[in-house]
Amino acid sequence: MRQAMEAEVLNPHFELGEQGLHQVLSDVIEEVRRSVSQDIDGAEILHSLLTSSWLQSLLKVYECLQRYLRDSPAPMLDYASGLSLQLLIDLKSLPCCSEEAKELCRLLRQPHLQALLSAHDTVAQKDYEPVLPPIPDGLPGDEEATRTVCLVKNKQPLGATIKRNEITGEIFVARVIHGGLADRSGLLHAGDRIIEVNGFPVDGMEPEQVIQVVQARSHGTIMFKVIPITERPVHNQTMLYVRAMTDYSPQQDPTIPCADAGMSFRRGDVLEIVDQTDALWWQAKKLPSSSACAGLIPSTNLLRRKQREFWWSQPYQPHACIQTLSPVDEEDDLMAIDEKCVEADEEAFESEELREAFLSVPPLVYPEEDDFSSNIEGIYLAGFRRSMRLCRRLSYGTAQPTCHTRCPSSCYSSLNTPYEEVVRYQRHPENAHRLIALLGAPGVGVNELRRRLIEMNPNLFHGAVPHTTRAPRGYEEFGREYYFTSREVFDNMVYNNRFLEYGEYKGNLYGTSIEAVREVLNRGKICVVDIEPNAVQAVRTHELKAFIIYVKPPPLERLRVTRQDSYITTNYYVNRPFKDEDFQEMEEAAWKMESQLWHFFDQVIVNDELQDSCVQLLTAVRKAQDEPHWVPASWIRPTTGP
Ligand SMILES: Nc1ncnc2c1ncn2[C@@H]1O[C@H](COP(=O)(O)OP(=O)(O)OP(=O)(O)O)[C@@H](O)[C@H]1O
């Protein structure tokens, strides 16, 4: 037996048998037991030593470590994600690809495979230590043991805030910022009492004075003597991603505990909430983030409270919802009749006065149809009829009954949800396409871009056929120009929230229904619609998963240059060249849309050079369908209730 043990000691690579060291120990105990019965001196002591539970545990740990060292798999490489990306780039750059290469591309782009590779890299790069056994019970708990913590400061802040107990004058660590220097050291915790900084006793000092002592040394080692907190709070670190629905600036928030530790954000920013331990102040990172260090932001409840206070502190203003963007005043436009008319509206011919007015203004073009209602390769471009467009512009009605729900971002509802929970979503190739919704100020070019996109590939891109209560004309077909319905049916659809948006124009109702969009999507096509601001909420649903593209006007000087030969569709059913006032109105309308809806835009295209904008639009639409994006969590795991 002894020989066997010696062999083990001498040869560290000695392979322990099935039972391992545990077995060896049992044998030793057995031998010692026999020695005890022979009454050999000291054998009893040795016996109790070897049978003690702590030694057994220690040996088990040793065995685990041996097994860990022997069996731990070593990765072939730790950058599988990078390699797959490189492979995709290389394959893409090939002039022509074999079927196998295409298949490989498809596989490598699969979200599950990418997630697997990423998980592999995380594991491969991390040095996982074995789990250590728990600290034995019975250690003295009330001992005021001090700890000396040395942090090497570089240009980064320390990443901790302090507070003073006003009664005792003691200084405590108030908060440790996730990913900051203090956090990464693992040695400072919220609640630790600071006794000394760089040898200076800090009890009784004001927090600002303590900070001065810390800052006296801009780099090098800073030494803290602390009494560690006995019971550390449990950190609430569930992974949460949110989209900010409001702007926030810590510098302008007098209530933030430490403005320097705060993080500013803008509406639409995606934030990773890394710590929600404090009910009032969360810690978050802005994505994509290059910094390891998080910043303080108000929690949902706190931000909601702040917004409410701000809301009530504002002087009363007449309701300034997006709908109040006044369309061109009808009376003003009547004065503009002497402009050069290049196009007449389908409905314009119903009015005798207008017909006369048109006839008196040369040169005139009287297309039987709206110019956008064209036919490409036998495919009709639906949803471009002028009356529908003008109706939408004039429209104040939506599928939602009250203003609060109609202007989701601007008014009350953003107070309820200052952060919207989001998740990363990538459409599965077999799922329906995401709805593409274009939005922009009147005249900015939404319809021009939409039309050009559909013309690029009318077999793939489609508009939704609108509904109307207007009677069909001789050349019009049901389901091509419009779905012609009775007012009763239309009202019923409104009542049942089946319209994304609807409105009235010259006594007739017009609207884009969810069914019309669904009909396009069910045929495997990409449905491209333009929406008014009040339809934003209606397209942001689990079913449609709209990708909202905002078309932004370029600066005024560029509008003047690029729109020299363009015509604005006025409220008077004529097209005329753009005037400076039109550009100003466009900018104002754009500004309002941006200030109220920016956080809902998945993509912004500045419509400067038309060709560039078309390329940007096409790229955005492809990305919307094929690449991962942040979407509301409720789209992926729908919640019950409103
Ligand atoms: N980038 C551009 N450069 C030059 N002209 C443009 C550009 N974008 C659009 N246009 C022209 O501007 C005019 C208005 O565009 P369009 O009708 O698409 O506006 P819209 O945003 O759809 O407005 P509406 O609300 O009136 O439907 C059209 O004559 C169009 O050809």
CA distances (Å), origin 185, targets 17, 152, 289: 41, 10, 21
Give pLDDT, residue 263: 92
Q: Give the residue extent of every domain in the chain.
A: 16-67, 147-227, 240-313, 322-415+424-636
Instruction: Give the number of the atom of ligand 1 that is nearest the alpha carbon of residue 444.
Output: 21
Of residues 350, 256, 371, 238, the one with CA closest to residue 303:
256
State the distance from the centre of ligand 1 to the C-alpha of 403, rounded, in angstroms: 29
Pocket of ligand 1 (CB under 6 A): 389, 393, 440, 442-448, 562-563, 566-569, 607, 610, 613
Q: To the nearest whole percent, how much of the chain has pLDDT over 90?
A: 35
Strand partners, 297: 282
- Per-residue pLDDT reduced to its tens digit, 358-399: 344 333 333 333 444 455 556 677 777 777 777 777 664 343
Segment 318-345 mean pLDDT: 32
pLDDT confidence band for 234 (50 / 70 / 90): low
Predicted pLDDT at 571? 60
- Our mutation pick for probing the ligand 1 site, out of 448, 557, 563, counting the most ligand atoms within 8 A of Cβ, is 448
The predicted pLDDT at position 20 comes to 67
What's the mean pLDDT when you consider all of the chain? 78
Identify the helix (H) or strand (E) that includes residue 242.
Answer: strand 240-244
How far apart CA 290 and CA 158 sit, in angstroms, is 18
Residue from 343, 374, 563 whose mutation best tests the ligand 1 pocket (most atoms within 8 A of CB): 563
Atom of ligand 1 nearest to the CA of 393: 25
Confidence of residue 145 (pLDDT cuts 50, 70, 90): confident
CA of 444 to the centre of ligand 1 (A): 5
Whole-number Å distance, alpha carbon 443 to ligand 1 midpoint, is 5
Integer Cα distance of 536 and 246 in angstroms = 17
Please give the C-alpha separations between residue 465 and each of 142, 323, 511, 514, in angstroms, as whole numbers.
76, 24, 9, 10
SS (H, E, C) 55-66: HHHHHHHHHHHH
Q: How many C-beta atoms surround the C-beta of residue 3 within 10 A? A: 7
> Which segment of 92-101, 195-204, 357-366, 563-572 scores lowest on mean pLDDT?
357-366
Gap from CA of 75 to ligand 1 centroid (Å):
56
What is the tens place of the pLDDT at every residue in 538-562?
Answer: 999 999 999 999 999 999 999 999 9
Distance 333 CA to ligand 1 centre (A): 18
Residue with CA closest to ligand 1 atom 10: 445
Nearest CA to 303 out of 241, 238, 245, 240 is that of 245
Question: Which protein residue's CA is at the shortest distance from atom 22 of ligand 1?
Answer: 447
- Ligand 1 centroid to residue 577 C-alpha, Å: 11
97-101, 359-363, 439-443, 505-509, range with greatest mean pLDDT: 439-443
- Sheet of 295-298, strand order: 295-298, 281-287, 270-275, 240-244, 419-425, 629-632
Q: Which atom of ligand 1 is nearest to the CA of 609?
A: 1
| Strand 220-227 versus strand 419-425 pairing type | unpaired
Cα–Cα dist 238/27, whole Å: 48
Distance (Å) from CA 603 to ligand 1 centroid: 19
**Strand, coil or helix: 225:** strand
- Ligand 1 center from residue 373 Cα (angstroms): 15
Q: What is the residue-wise DSSP string for 614-628?
A: HHHHHHHHHHHHHS-
Distance (Å, whole) CA 275 – CA 633: 19
For the ranges 177-181, 232-236, 604-608, the lowest mean pLDDT is seen at 232-236
Q: Do domains 147-227 and 240-313 have the same CATH topology?
A: no
Cβ within 8 Å of residue 100, ≥6 positions away: none
The strand ranges marked E within 120-239 are 147-153, 160-164, 171-176, 193-197, 200-201, 220-227
Pocket test for ligand 1, best of 447, 552, 567, 583 (most atoms within 8 A of CB): 447
Residue nearest to atom 11 of ligand 1 (CA): 566
Q: Could you identify the atom of ligand 1 that is nearest to the CA of residue 392?
A: 25
**CA 365 / ligand 1 centre spacing (Å):** 18
β-bridge mates for residue 200, sequence order:
197
Confidence class for position 65, pLDDT limits 50, 70, 90: confident
Thinking of the domain 147-227, which architecture would CATH place it in? Answer: Roll (2.30)
Work out the percent of the chain whose per-residue pLDDT is above 70. Answer: 75
State pLDDT tens for residues 7-60. Answer: 444 344 445 555 666 777 777 777 777 776 666 667 777 787 788 777 887 888
Which residues, in sequence order, are CB contacts of 262 under 8 Å at separation 6+? 250, 251, 253, 256, 295, 296, 297
Ligand 1 atom with least separation from CA of 567? 29
Measured CA to CA, the distance from residue 287 to residue 265 in angstroms comes to 10
Instruction: Looking at the CA of residue 551, tell me the nearest atom of ligand 1.
Output: 21
Structure tokens at 191: 């609640």
92: confidence class by pLDDT, cuts 50, 70, 90: confident
For 153, 333, 575, the CA distances from 569, given in Å and listed in that order, are 63, 11, 5
For the record, the structure tokens of 624 come out as: 């919307």
Gap between the Cα atoms of 269 and 248, Å rounded: 11
**CA-CA distance, 392 to 399, in Å (whole number)?**
13
The C-alpha atoms of residue 91 and residue 102 are separated, in whole angstroms, by: 8
Q: Render pLDDT for 548-598 as a digit per residue (tens, 0 to 9).
A: 999 999 999 999 999 999 988 776 467 789 999 999 999 999 999 999 899
Q: Which amino acid is at 325?
A: L
pLDDT band at 218 (very low <50, low <70, confident <90, very high): low
Q: Which helix (H) or strand (E) holds 589?
A: helix 580-597
Give the residue from 622, 606, 621 showing the smallest Cα distance to 450: 621
Q: 478, exposed or middle or buried, with CB in 10 Å at 0-12, 13-18, 19+?
A: exposed
CA distance 278 to 176: 11
Q: What's the gap in Å between 17 CA and the centre of ligand 1?
A: 81
407 burial class (0-12, 13-18, 19+ CB within 10 angstroms)? buried
State how far Cα 222 lies from the chain centre.
38
Per-residue pLDDT of 251-280, as tens digits, reads: 988 888 888 889 999 999 999 998 888 889
Q: Which atom of ligand 1 is nearest to the CA of 608?
A: 1
Tell me which of 446, 566, 574 to substitute to probe ligand 1's pocket, judged by most ligand atoms within 8 Å of the beta carbon: 566
The span from the CA of 389 to the CA of 323, in Å, is 15
Tokens representing 31? 């031998």
The neighbouring-strand residues paired with 284 are 273, 295
Q: What is d(CA 158, CA 182) in angstroms, rounded to the nearest whole number?
A: 6
Q: How far is the CA of 375 from the centre of ligand 1 (A)?
A: 20
Q: pLDDT tens, 148-173?
A: 888 877 777 788 888 888 889 899 99
CA 448/CA 553 separation, integer angstroms: 13
Distance 262 CA to ligand 1 centre (A): 43
Structure tokens at 470: 């207007």
Per CATH, which fold does 322-415+424-636 belong to? Rossmann fold (3.40.50)
pLDDT tens digits, 403-451: 333 344 444 444 568 899 999 999 999 999 999 999 999 999 999 999 9
Torsion of the alpha carbons at 172, 176, 180 and 184, rounded to the nearest 10: 90
β-pairing, 526-530 with 461-462?
A: parallel
Per-residue pLDDT, 612 = 96
- Amino acid occupying residue 37: S
May I ask the CATH class of domain 240-313? mainly beta
Per the CB < 8 A criterion, the answer to whether 556 and 322 are in contact is no
As a whole number of angstroms, the distance between CA 470 and CA 460 comes to: 29
Q: Over 60: is that where the pLDDT of 343 sits?
A: no
Q: State the pLDDT at residue 135.
A: 62
> For residues 612 and 501, what is the distance between their CA atoms, to the nearest angstrom?
30
> What's the pTM?
0.66
Ligand 1 center to 581 CA (angstroms) = 15
- Pick the residue whose CA is nearest to atom 25 on ligand 1: 442
Q: Which residue has the tokens 């971002």?
A: 409
